[in-house]
Amino acid sequence: MSGGAEAEFRGRVHTAVLAWYAVAGRDLPWRHPDCSPWGVYVSEIMAQQTPIARILAPWQSWMGRWPTPADLAAASRGDVLRAWGRLGYPRRAVNLHAAAKAMVEHHAGQVPEDPAALRALPGVGDYTVAAVASFAFGNPLPVLDTNVRRVLARIAIGEAQAAPTPTRGERDLAAAWLPDDCADANRWNVASMELGALVCTARTPQCATCPVRDLCRWRTAGHPAYAGVRKRPQGYAGTDREVRGRILALVRDDDAPHPRADFDPCADQARVDKLLIALIADGLLEHSRDGYHLPR
């Protein structure tokens, strides 16, 4: 397809997806025009490896308690971990706390707008930089999460899914697919993400209700199966991550320090000892004469 024809194709897809999103996009508080950059930032950190449906109530509670970076920076790490609750990957809470302190110390208590400054914050990668830049500041860097990668793989290339990890080619493709208009580009970032989350899903895509069903190259090709390298599924039951979670749950749900013996049911003794050392090193636990407790 020639360059002009490809540009016309992208334009038709943009028009259809943006119109669909205007009607079908979820009404999430961090998408409201009056949401602060801090609110957007918190939502993006919470949504790392966690479904949107699980973060809505914690985000609302978090923003009610710590509406600015300075409010969070003044809290203890223990309070932050308790508030994080069962969102999983609690190191994200530690990183969020550290990022709030960095914002207070180096950015006048604000989320930095500069992408390089964003990238320097703890726990921030390429996706979070692009998402915060686009959704908080209207700077449309190409946002490339799992959903967007799948949408572009299917619509633009005609493949069932993207490679296990993002490639340079994918990043170039995402940049090429940003609309020229700044406002449209920001809307495309969130609309394509929403399309992947609600319609163009990994296992059961709802092709019959897709706004670009007549344009999708994967559908036109007859939904060919993915033939590339597959990512090995990661289990949870019985893993160190599960045991770490059980240890933290015991400590988080009780303000009193826990003696070492309280963790014996979690796993064998040597394994628990190894994980306790790792949790302390990660800043998620502290140990005193009275036992193990959240950081104070």
Q: Which residues are catalytic?
A: 44
Task: Give me the residue label for tokens 């104070």.
Answer: 296
Query: Across-strand partners of 288?
Result: 291
d(CA 151, CA 196): 6
d(CA 288, CA 166): 43
Q: What is the dihedral of CA 143, 93, 35, 119, to 10 degrees?
A: -40
- Angstrom CA distances, 153 to 9, 90, 146, 171, 250, stand at 15, 32, 11, 12, 43
Burial annotation 235-272 (CB, 10 A radius, 16+ → b, else e): eeeeeeeebbbebbeebbeeeebbeeebbeebbeeeeb
- Angstrom CA distances, 43 to 58, 254, 257, stand at 10, 27, 31
> For the chain, how many residues are written?
296
Residue 247 Cα to chain centre, angstroms = 24
